[in-house]
Amino acid sequence: MEYGEFPLSDKEFSRIRERVYRIAGISLSDAKRTLVISRLSKLVRALGLTGFSAYVDYLEARGNADDDQNFVNALTTNLTRFFREDHHFDHLVAHVGELMENRPRVRGGRPRLRIWSAGCSTGQEPYTIALCLLDAFPELKRWDFRILATDIDSNVVAKAATGVYPVSELNGLSRERVALFEKAGPDTIRIPAAARQTIAFKLLNLIGPWPVKGPFDAIFCRNVAIYFDKPTQGVLFNRLGQVLAPGGFLYIGHSENLQAVSSGFRLVGKTVYQRKAVSDARDAA
Protein backbone atom coordinates (compact mmCIF):
# COMPACT_ATOMS: atom_id res chain seq x y z
CA MET A 1 0.00 0.00 0.00
CA GLU A 2 1.26 3.48 -0.86
CA TYR A 3 1.58 6.26 1.72
CA GLY A 4 -1.79 7.90 2.36
CA GLU A 5 -3.84 4.92 1.22
CA PHE A 6 -6.40 3.17 3.41
CA PRO A 7 -6.63 -0.61 3.94
CA LEU A 8 -9.55 -2.32 2.18
CA SER A 9 -11.28 -5.29 3.84
CA ASP A 10 -13.22 -7.95 1.85
CA LYS A 11 -16.48 -6.55 3.18
CA GLU A 12 -15.56 -3.00 2.11
CA PHE A 13 -14.48 -4.23 -1.31
CA SER A 14 -17.77 -6.04 -1.85
CA ARG A 15 -19.78 -2.95 -0.80
CA ILE A 16 -17.84 -0.83 -3.29
CA ARG A 17 -18.26 -3.46 -6.00
CA GLU A 18 -21.98 -3.70 -5.40
CA ARG A 19 -22.33 0.08 -5.54
CA VAL A 20 -20.40 0.67 -8.79
CA TYR A 21 -22.26 -2.26 -10.39
CA ARG A 22 -25.63 -0.81 -9.39
CA ILE A 23 -24.79 2.74 -10.53
CA ALA A 24 -22.66 2.13 -13.64
CA GLY A 25 -22.99 -1.58 -14.50
CA ILE A 26 -19.22 -1.95 -13.97
CA SER A 27 -18.16 -5.39 -12.67
CA LEU A 28 -14.93 -5.12 -10.69
CA SER A 29 -12.86 -8.32 -10.58
CA ASP A 30 -10.65 -9.23 -7.60
CA ALA A 31 -7.70 -8.00 -9.64
CA LYS A 32 -9.06 -4.45 -9.26
CA ARG A 33 -8.51 -4.25 -5.48
CA THR A 34 -5.31 -2.20 -5.74
CA LEU A 35 -6.92 0.12 -8.27
CA VAL A 36 -9.88 0.67 -5.94
CA ILE A 37 -7.56 1.50 -3.04
CA SER A 38 -5.42 3.94 -5.01
CA ARG A 39 -8.30 5.68 -6.79
CA LEU A 40 -10.73 5.98 -3.86
CA SER A 41 -8.28 6.77 -1.04
CA LYS A 42 -7.99 10.34 -2.35
CA LEU A 43 -11.77 10.80 -2.08
CA VAL A 44 -11.89 9.29 1.41
CA ARG A 45 -9.14 11.67 2.52
CA ALA A 46 -10.73 14.70 0.87
CA LEU A 47 -13.95 14.03 2.78
CA GLY A 48 -11.97 13.75 6.04
CA LEU A 49 -13.21 10.19 6.65
CA THR A 50 -11.41 7.42 8.53
CA GLY A 51 -11.56 4.66 5.89
CA PHE A 52 -13.64 2.80 3.33
CA SER A 53 -16.44 1.68 5.70
CA ALA A 54 -16.99 5.27 6.73
CA TYR A 55 -16.85 6.30 3.06
CA VAL A 56 -19.54 3.85 1.89
CA ASP A 57 -21.67 4.69 4.95
CA TYR A 58 -21.32 8.35 4.01
CA LEU A 59 -22.29 7.73 0.35
CA GLU A 60 -25.32 5.71 1.43
CA ALA A 61 -26.58 8.09 4.10
CA ARG A 62 -25.47 11.60 3.15
CA GLY A 63 -23.74 11.52 -0.21
CA ASN A 64 -25.01 13.91 -2.89
CA ALA A 65 -24.95 13.69 -6.70
CA ASP A 66 -21.38 15.10 -6.80
CA ASP A 67 -20.14 12.43 -4.40
CA ASP A 68 -21.69 9.70 -6.59
CA GLN A 69 -20.18 11.29 -9.69
CA ASN A 70 -16.72 11.45 -8.07
CA PHE A 71 -17.06 7.81 -7.00
CA VAL A 72 -17.91 6.69 -10.57
CA ASN A 73 -15.29 8.96 -12.18
CA ALA A 74 -12.64 7.41 -9.93
CA LEU A 75 -13.54 3.86 -10.94
CA THR A 76 -13.80 4.17 -14.72
CA THR A 77 -10.95 3.21 -17.03
CA ASN A 78 -10.58 5.79 -19.78
CA LEU A 79 -7.76 4.47 -21.95
CA THR A 80 -8.21 5.61 -25.55
CA ARG A 81 -6.29 7.12 -28.45
CA PHE A 82 -6.74 8.68 -31.90
CA PHE A 83 -7.27 6.08 -34.67
CA ARG A 84 -7.49 3.23 -32.14
CA GLU A 85 -8.42 0.02 -34.03
CA ASP A 86 -8.21 2.01 -37.23
CA HIS A 87 -9.82 -0.59 -39.51
CA HIS A 88 -13.17 0.58 -38.07
CA PHE A 89 -12.68 4.08 -39.50
CA ASP A 90 -11.72 2.64 -42.92
CA HIS A 91 -14.87 0.51 -42.83
CA LEU A 92 -17.02 3.49 -41.86
CA VAL A 93 -15.61 5.68 -44.65
CA ALA A 94 -16.19 2.90 -47.21
CA HIS A 95 -19.75 2.19 -46.10
CA VAL A 96 -20.92 5.69 -45.27
CA GLY A 97 -19.79 6.54 -48.80
CA GLU A 98 -22.22 3.96 -50.21
CA LEU A 99 -24.91 5.10 -47.86
CA MET A 100 -24.43 8.76 -48.84
CA GLU A 101 -24.77 7.93 -52.53
CA ASN A 102 -28.07 6.18 -51.92
CA ARG A 103 -29.55 8.50 -49.37
CA PRO A 104 -32.46 10.43 -50.87
CA ARG A 105 -32.15 14.22 -50.77
CA VAL A 106 -34.78 15.49 -48.38
CA ARG A 107 -36.76 18.18 -50.18
CA GLY A 108 -36.17 21.58 -48.54
CA GLY A 109 -33.84 19.98 -45.97
CA ARG A 110 -30.36 18.54 -45.80
CA PRO A 111 -29.63 14.82 -45.91
CA ARG A 112 -29.08 13.47 -42.44
CA LEU A 113 -26.25 11.38 -41.00
CA ARG A 114 -26.09 10.42 -37.33
CA ILE A 115 -23.32 8.63 -35.46
CA TRP A 116 -23.04 7.81 -31.75
CA SER A 117 -19.78 7.30 -29.89
CA ALA A 118 -21.09 5.60 -26.73
CA GLY A 119 -18.39 5.57 -24.05
CA CYS A 120 -16.29 8.22 -25.81
CA SER A 121 -13.81 8.82 -22.95
CA THR A 122 -11.64 11.92 -23.62
CA GLY A 123 -12.96 12.31 -27.17
CA GLN A 124 -10.30 10.75 -29.40
CA GLU A 125 -12.83 8.27 -30.85
CA PRO A 126 -15.55 10.75 -31.96
CA TYR A 127 -12.91 13.23 -33.20
CA THR A 128 -11.30 10.48 -35.29
CA ILE A 129 -14.73 9.69 -36.79
CA ALA A 130 -15.35 13.36 -37.63
CA LEU A 131 -11.85 13.93 -39.04
CA CYS A 132 -11.97 10.81 -41.25
CA LEU A 133 -15.44 11.48 -42.60
CA LEU A 134 -14.91 15.19 -43.28
CA ASP A 135 -11.61 14.43 -44.97
CA ALA A 136 -13.15 11.77 -47.23
CA PHE A 137 -16.43 13.63 -47.86
CA PRO A 138 -16.03 17.43 -47.60
CA GLU A 139 -19.67 17.75 -48.75
CA LEU A 140 -20.69 16.49 -45.31
CA LYS A 141 -20.20 20.09 -44.13
CA ARG A 142 -23.44 20.85 -45.98
CA TRP A 143 -25.25 17.80 -44.58
CA ASP A 144 -27.18 17.53 -41.35
CA PHE A 145 -24.22 15.53 -39.99
CA ARG A 146 -24.02 15.13 -36.21
CA ILE A 147 -22.02 12.93 -33.87
CA LEU A 148 -23.30 12.32 -30.37
CA ALA A 149 -20.44 11.51 -27.99
CA THR A 150 -21.32 10.35 -24.47
CA ASP A 151 -19.66 8.99 -21.36
CA ILE A 152 -20.61 8.40 -17.73
CA ASP A 153 -17.42 10.12 -16.46
CA SER A 154 -17.90 13.90 -16.16
CA ASN A 155 -14.12 14.59 -16.11
CA VAL A 156 -13.51 12.94 -19.48
CA VAL A 157 -16.55 14.58 -21.09
CA ALA A 158 -15.27 18.02 -19.98
CA LYS A 159 -11.78 17.27 -21.28
CA ALA A 160 -13.15 15.96 -24.59
CA ALA A 161 -15.16 19.13 -25.16
CA THR A 162 -11.99 21.30 -25.12
CA GLY A 163 -10.69 19.58 -28.28
CA VAL A 164 -7.10 20.29 -27.19
CA TYR A 165 -4.51 17.55 -26.55
CA PRO A 166 -0.79 17.20 -25.91
CA VAL A 167 1.10 16.82 -29.18
CA SER A 168 2.37 13.44 -27.91
CA GLU A 169 -1.12 12.06 -28.67
CA LEU A 170 -0.11 12.05 -32.34
CA ASN A 171 2.94 9.80 -31.79
CA GLY A 172 2.94 6.89 -34.22
CA LEU A 173 0.38 8.39 -36.61
CA SER A 174 1.20 8.73 -40.31
CA ARG A 175 2.02 12.13 -41.80
CA GLU A 176 -1.39 12.23 -43.57
CA ARG A 177 -3.19 11.62 -40.29
CA VAL A 178 -1.13 14.18 -38.37
CA ALA A 179 -2.05 16.74 -41.06
CA LEU A 180 -5.72 16.44 -40.02
CA PHE A 181 -4.95 18.24 -36.70
CA GLU A 182 -4.11 21.90 -36.02
CA LYS A 183 -1.20 23.18 -33.94
CA ALA A 184 -2.53 24.95 -30.83
CA GLY A 185 0.70 25.77 -28.92
CA PRO A 186 4.30 24.53 -28.71
CA ASP A 187 3.21 21.24 -27.11
CA THR A 188 -0.48 21.07 -27.94
CA ILE A 189 -2.73 20.30 -30.89
CA ARG A 190 -6.34 21.26 -31.53
CA ILE A 191 -9.18 19.59 -33.42
CA PRO A 192 -10.18 21.85 -36.34
CA ALA A 193 -13.46 23.73 -35.86
CA ALA A 194 -15.30 21.92 -38.67
CA ALA A 195 -14.81 18.60 -36.87
CA ARG A 196 -15.52 20.04 -33.41
CA GLN A 197 -18.79 21.56 -34.60
CA THR A 198 -20.23 18.20 -35.67
CA ILE A 199 -19.93 16.72 -32.16
CA ALA A 200 -22.16 17.14 -29.11
CA PHE A 201 -20.52 15.81 -25.92
CA LYS A 202 -22.94 14.72 -23.19
CA LEU A 203 -22.90 12.93 -19.88
CA LEU A 204 -24.85 9.68 -20.27
CA ASN A 205 -24.97 6.46 -18.27
CA LEU A 206 -25.40 3.53 -20.66
CA ILE A 207 -27.30 1.56 -18.05
CA GLY A 208 -29.69 4.46 -17.31
CA PRO A 209 -32.28 6.23 -19.46
CA TRP A 210 -31.09 7.44 -22.89
CA PRO A 211 -32.42 10.85 -23.92
CA VAL A 212 -31.17 10.25 -27.48
CA LYS A 213 -32.84 10.75 -30.82
CA GLY A 214 -32.08 7.92 -33.22
CA PRO A 215 -31.95 6.31 -35.52
CA PHE A 216 -28.16 6.28 -35.84
CA ASP A 217 -26.41 5.19 -39.02
CA ALA A 218 -23.47 3.90 -37.00
CA ILE A 219 -22.70 3.37 -33.33
CA PHE A 220 -19.22 2.99 -31.84
CA CYS A 221 -19.41 1.27 -28.46
CA ARG A 222 -15.85 0.03 -28.13
CA ASN A 223 -13.99 -1.16 -25.06
CA VAL A 224 -16.89 -0.23 -22.81
CA ALA A 225 -18.86 -3.49 -22.49
CA ILE A 226 -15.68 -5.34 -21.37
CA TYR A 227 -16.32 -3.78 -17.97
CA PHE A 228 -19.88 -5.23 -17.86
CA ASP A 229 -21.07 -8.78 -17.14
CA LYS A 230 -22.86 -10.79 -19.87
CA PRO A 231 -26.46 -9.95 -18.79
CA THR A 232 -25.63 -6.21 -18.73
CA GLN A 233 -23.92 -6.53 -22.14
CA GLY A 234 -27.03 -8.27 -23.53
CA VAL A 235 -29.33 -5.48 -22.36
CA LEU A 236 -26.92 -2.81 -23.66
CA PHE A 237 -26.46 -4.27 -27.15
CA ASN A 238 -30.19 -4.98 -27.57
CA ARG A 239 -30.91 -1.35 -26.66
CA LEU A 240 -28.23 -0.13 -29.07
CA GLY A 241 -29.92 -2.25 -31.76
CA GLN A 242 -33.17 -0.38 -31.12
CA VAL A 243 -31.65 3.03 -31.84
CA LEU A 244 -29.54 1.85 -34.80
CA ALA A 245 -31.16 2.15 -38.24
CA PRO A 246 -31.76 -1.21 -39.98
CA GLY A 247 -28.56 -1.86 -41.92
CA GLY A 248 -26.64 0.52 -39.63
CA PHE A 249 -23.23 -0.49 -38.26
CA LEU A 250 -22.14 -1.26 -34.71
CA TYR A 251 -18.41 -1.17 -33.96
CA ILE A 252 -17.22 -2.92 -30.79
CA GLY A 253 -13.82 -3.42 -29.13
CA HIS A 254 -11.26 -5.95 -30.34
CA SER A 255 -11.73 -8.23 -27.32
CA GLU A 256 -15.55 -8.08 -27.39
CA ASN A 257 -18.13 -10.08 -29.36
CA LEU A 258 -21.89 -10.34 -29.57
CA GLN A 259 -22.04 -14.14 -29.67
CA ALA A 260 -24.52 -15.34 -27.04
CA VAL A 261 -25.11 -11.69 -26.13
CA SER A 262 -27.44 -10.28 -28.80
CA SER A 263 -29.03 -11.83 -31.92
CA GLY A 264 -30.15 -8.63 -33.63
CA PHE A 265 -26.88 -8.16 -35.56
CA ARG A 266 -24.87 -9.97 -38.21
CA LEU A 267 -21.06 -9.97 -38.16
CA VAL A 268 -19.83 -8.21 -41.31
CA GLY A 269 -16.16 -7.52 -40.50
CA LYS A 270 -13.58 -7.73 -37.73
CA THR A 271 -15.65 -6.61 -34.69
CA VAL A 272 -18.07 -4.85 -37.07
CA TYR A 273 -21.75 -5.76 -36.89
CA GLN A 274 -24.72 -4.71 -38.97
CA ARG A 275 -28.21 -4.43 -37.59
CA LYS A 276 -30.47 -6.98 -39.21
CA ALA A 277 -33.57 -5.75 -40.99
CA VAL A 278 -36.70 -6.36 -38.89
CA SER A 279 -37.82 -9.16 -41.27
CA ASP A 280 -34.40 -10.98 -41.02
CA ALA A 281 -34.54 -10.89 -37.23
CA ARG A 282 -38.10 -12.33 -37.33
CA ASP A 283 -37.06 -15.15 -39.71
CA ALA A 284 -34.12 -16.07 -37.48
CA ALA A 285 -36.30 -16.23 -34.34
Ligand X SMILES: C[S@@+](CC[C@H](N)C(=O)[O-])C[C@H]1O[C@@H](n2cnc3c(N)ncnc32)[C@H](O)[C@@H]1O
Residue 227 touches ligand X, criterion: CB under 6 A: yes
Q: Which residue, 119 or 264, has its beta carbon nearer to ligand X? A: 119
- Check 15, 17, 151, 177 and give the catalytic one: 151
Q: Which of 70, 80, 262, 274 binds ligand X (CB under 6 A)?
A: 80
Encoded one letter per residue, x for contact with ligand X by CB under 6 A and - for no contact, window 110-129 reads ---------xxx---x----
Query: How many residues interact with ligand X (rule CB under 6 A)?
Result: 25
Q: Which of 70, 128, 223, 262 binds ligand X (CB under 6 A)?
A: 223
- Check 39, 103, 196, 239 and give the catalytic one: 39
Residue 116: closest CA among 227, 242, 224, 215? 215
CB of residue 48 vs ligand X: minimum separation in angstroms?
A: 27
Q: Which of 222, 240, 258, 272 binds ligand X (CB under 6 A)?
A: 222
> Would residue 114 show up in a list of annotated catalytic residues for this protein?
no
Q: Which residue, 147 or 206, has its beta carbon nearer to ligand X? A: 206
Are 165 and 121 a contacting pair, CB within 8 Å?
A: no
The three-state DSSP-derived secondary structure of 230-263 is HHHHHHHHHHHHHHEEEEEEEEECCCCCCCCCCC
Are 13 and 36 a contacting pair, CB within 8 Å?
A: yes
Q: How far is CA 284 from the centre of its chain?
A: 30
Residue 225 touches ligand X, criterion: CB under 6 A: no
> Would residue 68 show up in a list of annotated catalytic residues for this protein?
no
Residue 153 touches ligand X, criterion: CB under 6 A: yes
Q: Using CB under 6 A, which of the segments 3-11, 60-68, 204-212, 255-263 binds ligand X? A: 204-212
CB of residue 32 vs ligand X: minimum separation in angstroms?
A: 13
CB of residue 224 vs ligand X: minimum separation in angstroms?
A: 4
Catalytic residues: 39, 151
- In the complex, the residues that contact ligand X under the rule CB under 6 A are 24-26, 76-80, 84, 119-121, 125, 151-153, 156, 205-207, 222-224, 227, 253
